Amino acid sequence: MFPFALIARIRHRRRYKAALAVLLGMHAYERLSPKHQALVEEWLADWHRRFSEYPYSVVRSKMVTPFNLAAMRAWAMARLGFGTGVEGVSWGELLPLSRGRLSGPGIVALAFQQFHPATGDAVAFLEQRGVRFDPSLGLGPEWLAAMKAKYP
């Protein structure tokens, strides 16, 4: 049983960090000035021009969920040196590294699961620090359980 419990803890930790990165990507981006928001968007557009098959305008409008977009913005804000907006939490501890540098936003987007208990834990952690999220986002297993009860 030992290796399975260890794997479950590692998976939960990875999803917890991804949830924090995505949620803080939403929170921190909303708190930026319009000038800094434009800088983040410009940086992402440039990155997509160089490394992606699709232009950022297409990706942003048709191909991603709000959570994937928040993962991309979190990654860009980390690369540009913007803070998370929550004291004591840095992008460096949330975003995975690859060869000593931040890896791409896809790693975070793949690890994030909207209804996973780790996401519920991340929401609770951030709410303790004064960060509030719109309930219509449907975050954590509690929201999913409530919807299953409401629509059996």
pLDDT for residue 36: 97
pLDDT for residue 101: 60
For the chain of 152 residues, list the mean pLDDT of each consecutive stretch of 10: 84 93 94 96 86 71 81 92 91 76 75 91 93 85 81 78
- The residue range of the domain holding 86 is 2-150
Total domain count, the chain: 1
3-state helix, strand, coil in the chain (%, to 5): 70, 5, 25
One-character DSSP codes across 115-149 = TSHHHHHHHHHHHHTT----GGG--SHHHHHHHHH
pLDDT for residue 100: 59
pLDDT for residue 21: 94
In terms of Cα–Cα distance, which of 123, 136, 131 is closest to 15?
123
